[in-house]
């Protein structure tokens, strides 16, 4: 039986990634609040993608996030320009894979506990900050008419920060609750 794929992705990873993208997609439809010009607070739709980054590292996390972003663009598209598409979909969701920085950090922590959870929270925050930066850039460039007389960058930061800060809290809480049981399952190295 062949276990490894040509790019170092095992069948286990491919199956887990597919399940996580499907779960993230389902959770994206459970909207707690929908912003007027796009974006929403969901029931933890970023959790599965962030988990991939935390369990498998940055490269695989970014890849799975980009795939999820493309799927989101098919299911709920809002595209005004090709660059805006890249910023708001594959890049924004791909940057959630930066949570994989926590993978490197927590795996080096010899004592499981507060330091490990700190590395995990830092990874989650970095991933969501990456998504935030991508959406802010798209908003300031392509949706500046919504800012009116205000600075487009500040308006876009406030607008995107409104829902992504709540998503950050939901994601961190969910990851911290799920981490201990998921840690027993383990990821491939």
- Residue numbers of the domain that contains 17: 11-185
Considering the domain boundaries, does residue 122 fall inside one? yes
2 has a pLDDT exceeding 60? no
| pLDDT tens digits for range 78-91 | 999 999 999 999 99
Residue at 32 is within a domain: yes
How confident is the model over 64-91, as a mean pLDDT?
97
* Structural domain count of the chain: 1
**CATH assignment at residue 146:** 1.10.1760.20
Q: Do the domain assignments include residue 4?
A: no
Q: Kindly list the distances between the CA atom of residue 150 and the CA atoms of 4, 60, 115, 153, in Å, as whole numbers in the listed order.
A: 53, 39, 41, 9
Read off the pTM: 0.90
The verdict on residue 2 lying in a domain is: no
- Do 28 and 42 form a contact (C-beta atoms < 8 A)? yes
Residue 5 belongs to a domain: no
Residue labelled with tokens 């040509």: 6
Q: Could you give the percent of the chain with pLDDT greater than 70? A: 89
pLDDT digits 0-9 by tens, 134-168:
999 999 999 999 999 999 999 999 999 999 999 99
> Is residue 80 domain-resident?
yes
């Amino acid at each position: 039986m062949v276990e490894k794929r040509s790019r170092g992705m095992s069948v286990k990873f491919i199956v887990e990634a597919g399940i996580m993208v499907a779960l993230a997609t389902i959770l994206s439809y459970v909207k707690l609040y929908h912003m007027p010009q796009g974006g929403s607070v969901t029931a933890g739709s970023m959790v599965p993608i962030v988990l991939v980054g935390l369990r498998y590292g940055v490269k695989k996390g970014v890849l799975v996030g980009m795939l999820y972003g493309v799927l989101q663009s098919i299911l709920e598209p809002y595209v005004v320009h090709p660059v805006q598409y890249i910023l708001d979909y594959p890049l924004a969701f791909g940057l959630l894979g930066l949570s994989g920085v926590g993978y490197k950090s927590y795996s080096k922590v010899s004592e499981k506990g507060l330091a490990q959870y700190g590395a995990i929270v830092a990874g989650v925050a970095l991933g969501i900050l990456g998504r935030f930066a991508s959406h802010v850039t798209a908003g300031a460039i392509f949706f500046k008419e919504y800012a009116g007389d205000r600075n487009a960058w500040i308006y876009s930061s406030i607008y995107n920060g409104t829902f992504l800060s709540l998503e950050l809290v939901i994601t961190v809480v969910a990851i911290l609750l799920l981490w201990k049981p998921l840690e027993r399952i383990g990821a491939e190295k």
